[in-house]
Amino acid sequence: MSAGDQKNGGDKPEVAVAEVWPEVERAECLARGAALKWASGVFCRPEHLERLSQYKKRESQRTSSVHTRLKSMVQSYLEGVGWGLEQLREARVELKEVSHALRKAGLESNRNGDGVKSLERLREVSVNHCQLLAAVSNLPRLYSVRSMVLETERLVESRRLLEAHARLMDLECWQDDILWQLQGAAGTAGGALSPEDQELVTKYFSGVGQLVEALGKELWAVVSSALALARQNPTPFVSAVRIVEREEALDRALLEERGGSSRPLPLGRPRCWRACFFQVLDEAVSARFRSVSYLHTRGPGLAGHLSALQHGIMADLATVRHLLEHCVPPHYRLTGAYLRASHRCLHAHLAQVSSWDLESGEIFAVLNWVLHIYNSPDMMGQPELVAEMEKEELGPIISTEGLEQLQNKYVQSVRKSVSEWMHKALQVELQDWQRDQEPDTDHEGFYQTSLPTIITQMLEENARVALMIGVSLRDQTIQMGLYEMENLLNRFREALVEFGKEHRRNPSNNNNKFYLHYLLASISNCIILKKSTESLQQQQSSRSAAQFSRTPPNPLAALDRAVRRACRLVMDQLLLDLQPLLPGLLTRPWLVQGDPTPKLCRVLERHLELYGRVRPPCRQRLQEEAQWLMVVEYVRALMQKRLVCRSGEERRLLAQQMVQDDQQFREIFHGLEGEGSVPEVNPLALLPVLADFIQLKDPGMLPLEVSGLATKYPDISEEHVSVLLDIRGDVSRDTRGTVLDLLEQSAPPLPAGYRPIFTDILVPPSTMAFCLPTAKCA
Q: What is the pLDDT of residues 381-410, one digit of tens each?
A: 888 788 777 777 778 888 889 999 999 999
Q: Which amino acid is at 519?
A: L
| pLDDT tens digits along 255-307 | 777 655 656 666 667 888 889 999 998 888 888 877 765 545 666 678 888 88
**C-beta of residue 639 within 8 angstroms of C-beta of residue 764:** yes
DSSP state of 264: P
The predicted model gives 432-436 an average pLDDT of: 90
Give 691-719 pLDDT, tens digit per residue.
Answer: 999 999 888 899 899 888 988 888 999 99
Instruction: Give residue 197's pLDDT.
Output: 58
Report how far residue 634's alpha carbon sits from residue 654's, in angstroms, rounded to the nearest whole number.
13
Q: Does pLDDT of 431 surpass 80?
A: yes
Local confidence band at 131 (pLDDT 50, 70, 90 cut-offs): low
* Residue 549 pLDDT level (bands cut at 50, 70, 90): very low
pLDDT score recorded for residue 145? 65
Give the ranges where 355-470 is alpha helix by DSSP (H).
360-368, 383-392, 400-433, 451-467
CB 336 within 8 A of CB 388: yes
pTM for the model: 0.69
Q: In whole numbers, what is the pLDDT of the chain averaged over residues? A: 82
Q: How long, in residues, is the chain?
A: 778
Class of residue 160 by CB neighbours under 10 A (exposed 0-12, middle 13-18, buried 19+): middle
What pLDDT, on the 0 to 100 scale, is given for residue 575? 94
What is the structure's pLDDT at 216?
83
Q: How far apart are CA 319 and CA 313, in angstroms?
A: 10
| 504-527: average pLDDT | 85
Which candidate, 158, 319, 119, 331, places its Cα nearest to that of 236?
158
pLDDT in tens, 436-448: 899 999 898 999 9
Lowest mean pLDDT among 111-115, 193-197, 333-337, 370-374: 193-197
State the pLDDT at residue 4.
42
Per-residue pLDDT band at 32 (split at 50, 70, 90): confident
The one-letter amino acid at 298 = R
Specify the DSSP element, H or E, that contains 327.
Answer: none
DSSP class of residue 440 equals E
In tens, the pLDDT along 41-87 reads: 777 777 777 777 888 888 888 888 888 988 888 898 988 888 989 99
> Residue 143's pLDDT band (boundaries 50, 70, 90)?
low
* Mean per-residue pLDDT, 423-437: 92
Write the CB contacts of 559 (distance below 8 Å, at least 6 apart in sequence).
489, 526, 529, 530, 533
Predicted confidence band of residue 475 (pLDDT cuts 50, 70, 90): very high
How confident is the model at residue 47, as a pLDDT? 73
Strand, helix or coil at 441? strand
Beta-carbon contacts of residue 69 (< 8 Å; ≥ 6 apart):
none
Of the chain, the percentage scoring pLDDT greater than 70 comes to 83
Cβ count within 10 A of residue 208: 21
User: What number is the average pLDDT over the span 674-702?
Assistant: 79
- Name residue 367's amino acid: L
Across the range 627-635, mean pLDDT stands at 94
Looking at per-residue pLDDT, the higher value among 768 and 264 belongs to: 264
pLDDT at position 678 over 50 = no
- The answer to whether the bond into 617 is cis (omega within 30° of 0) is yes
Kindly provide the residue ranges of all beta strands, DSSP E only, lying in 177-238, ordered along the sequence.
Answer: none
- 30 pLDDT band, cuts 50/70/90, is confident
pLDDT at residue 516 is higher than 60? yes
**Which alpha helices (DSSP H) does 551-647 contain, by range?**
555-578, 588-593, 597-611, 618-639
Kindly tell me if the per-residue pLDDT of 754 is higher than 90: no
* Closest listed residue to residue 496, CA positions, set 407, 565, 444: 565
Using CA atoms, how far apart are residues 376 and 309, in angstroms rounded to an integer? 15
Q: How many CB atoms lie within 10 A of CB 123?
A: 12
Rounded Cα distance between 429 and 518, Å, is: 10
In the prediction, which pLDDT does 309 show? 87
For the segment 189-198, the average pLDDT, to the nearest whole number, is: 54
